[in-house]
Structure 1
C-alpha cells in the first residue's frame, strides 16, 4: 500500500506541474503579457461613448456644411429677396397647376355604362360599343368644362392637370397609371350654370346624350355649393413643353 501511494505521488506531481505550466503559458499568450483584468480594458460603455462622440462630430460637420450652403445661396438681402420671390411664385403656380387641393361651388357630372332592363336585357339593336362610355365622351365633358372657365377638375379621385390623359382600356379607363371602372365621376369647381350651358352646346356631349336615351347609358349633372378637389400628388414631368413667352419673377 505504501509503495502504491509513493508511486502516485511520484507520477502525479510532475503531471500537475506540467498542466500548471501550460495554463500559465496560455494566459500569457491571451493577455499579451499584460494583466487581464486591467482597469483600462475596453468596456461596452466606453465603446458607446466613443460612438456618440463620433456622431456628435459628424453632426457638427453636417451643420457646418448646411450653413456654408445657405451662405453660398443666400445670406445676403438681395439673395434672400430673390429666393422669397421664387418661392412665392412657385406657390402661386402650384395652385394654378392643380398641385394644391381646392374647395368651392361647382358641378359634378357622372357617366356610366348602359344597364340591363328589368328582364336583364339590353336593346336589341345595340352593339357592344353602344353600351359603354368611351374616351371621346369623357374628353368631350372635360373640354366643355374647361371652356366654361372651370377653375379645377377632378376625375374619380385624381386631379386633372395639364399632363393628364384619360385613356380607354377595354371597358375601363386608364388615368395616370391607374385603372378605373364606371361610373366615371367628374367634379369641377366654377360657375355651375356656365358649365352646364357649355355641356349643352358641346356636339359630342349632345351625341352622348342621344345614346343615353336610345341605349340606356348613364348621365347626370349635379350642381353643388361645395366641391372638394384633391391636389395632384404624382410627379409632374414635362418633356416637350416650352414656355409660351418670357417668364419673370
Structure 2
C-alpha cells in the first residue's frame, strides 16, 4: 500500500466513533423532524437524504429571516441615534467589504476541488483518506487566496469572512448551519494573476496537487469571464473569543496614554466633595 506522508499527517481518522456519532445525530434529527412534520402537516422525510434537504432548506429560510431582522434592527438603531442626536460614523468601504456587510462585484477566479472518482486506478492501493477532499485542503486554498490579495471570498454559495468557520464531517462540508457535498467551489475576487501565483506558491496546495495527479482528485482554477458577484455575509456576527498574534499591539498608544495620565498632576480636591 502506497503511503502519502505529506497529507496523511494532517488527516483525521474516521473511525467507529465518528460513524456512531453521525448515526446518533441522524436519529435525533429524524425524531425532531417527525415531530415538526406532524405539527405542520408536512410530509415526513423517508430517508437521510430527504431529511438533509428539508433541514438545509429550513436553515436557508431562517438565515434569510435573520438577515431581514438584522437590517430592521440596524434601521431602528439608526433612528434612535438620530432622535437622540448621537453621531455614529459610517464604516468606510474597506471595512464594509472586509466585514462582508455588502455584496461585492469584481474580477476573480473559481477554484474547484472534488473527491477522486469511483474508478480511480489507485483506489485499492492507497488509504481512503487520500481519495477525498479534506477540511485542511479547503483551508490551504483559502489561505493562499487571502495571501494573494483576495478582497472577498465565498465558499460554495456563502460569503466567508475572518470569523467564518467550516468543518468537514466525512465527505460533507458544514458551513453556517448548511451542509454541502463535493465538488467544492471557492470563489475569490481579486487580481487573477496574483491569486494564481499565490496558489502555486502554497506548499499545502502543492501537497494536494501531488495527490490529485496520483489518485485523480479533482482540481481546476478558472478565471471569471465576467465580473464575479459575491453576496453579503449572512452568518452569525457574535464573536466568542479571539487572540492577537505575537508582536501585535492590541491598542496602539494605550501605554503612552496611561503613562501620561500617571505623570499628570492630580486635580485639586474641593472641600465637601469626594
Matched with 2:97 is: 95
Q: CA deviation at 1:223?
A: 1.0
Is 1:230 aligned to residue 213 of structure 2?
A: no
- Where do 1:122-141 residues align within 5 Å? 123-141=123-141
Task: Give the unaligned 5+ runs of structure 1.
Answer: 1-68
Are the structure 2 counterparts of residues 91 and 152 from structure 1 closer, same or farther at C-alpha, using a change threshold of 3 Å?
closer
Q: Scaled by the length of structure 1, what TM-score is found?
A: 0.62
Q: 1:71 to 1:128 in 2, by over 3 A?
A: closer
Aligned residue-pair number: 169
Instruction: Determine if contact 1:156/1:184 at 8 Å carries over to the other structure.
Output: yes
Aligned to 1:113: 115
Cα distance, 1:246–1:216 mapped onto 2, change above 3 Å: same
- What SS does the corresponding residue of 1:89 show, helix, strand or coil? coil
- 1:13-48 deviations in whole A, cap 9, x for unaligned? xxxxxxxxxxxxxxxxxxxxxxxxxxxxxxxxxxxx
Cα deviation, residue 127, structure 1: 1.8
SS at match of 1:235: coil
The offset of 1:91, in angstroms, is: 6.7
- Distance in 2, matches of 1:196 and 1:104, equals 16
Gaps of 5+ in 2: 1-79, 245-249, 254-274
Q: CA deviation at 1:229?
A: 0.7
Equivalence map 1:157-236=2 (5 Å): 157-224=157-224, 225-236=226-237
- In the superposition, relative to structure 1, how do residues 245 and 132 fare at CA in structure 2: closer, same or farther (>3 Å)? same
Q: CA deviation at 1:134?
A: 0.5
Of 172-181 and 146-155, the range deviating more from structure 2: 172-181
C-alpha distance 92-212 of structure 1, shift in aligned 2 (>3 A): closer
1:115–1:122 Cα contact (<8 Å) kept? no
Distance 1:207 1:158 in 2: 26
Q: Does 1:239 align with 2:240?
A: yes
**Cα RMSD, aligned residues only:** 2.5
DSSP-derived class of the 2:188 partner:
strand
The structure in which a higher percent of residues are helix is: 1
For 2:203 and 2:243, the matched residues in 1 are separated by 31
Larger Rg: 1
Query: Hey, what's the Cα distance between the residues in 2 that align with 1:91 and 1:203?
Result: 33
TM-score by length of 2: 0.56
Separation (CA, whole Å) in 2 of partners of 1:216 and 1:71: 59
Deviation at 1:245, TM superposition (A): 3.2
Deviation at 1:90, TM superposition (A): 7.0
Q: Tell me the secondary structure at the aligned position of residue 91 of structure 2.
A: helix
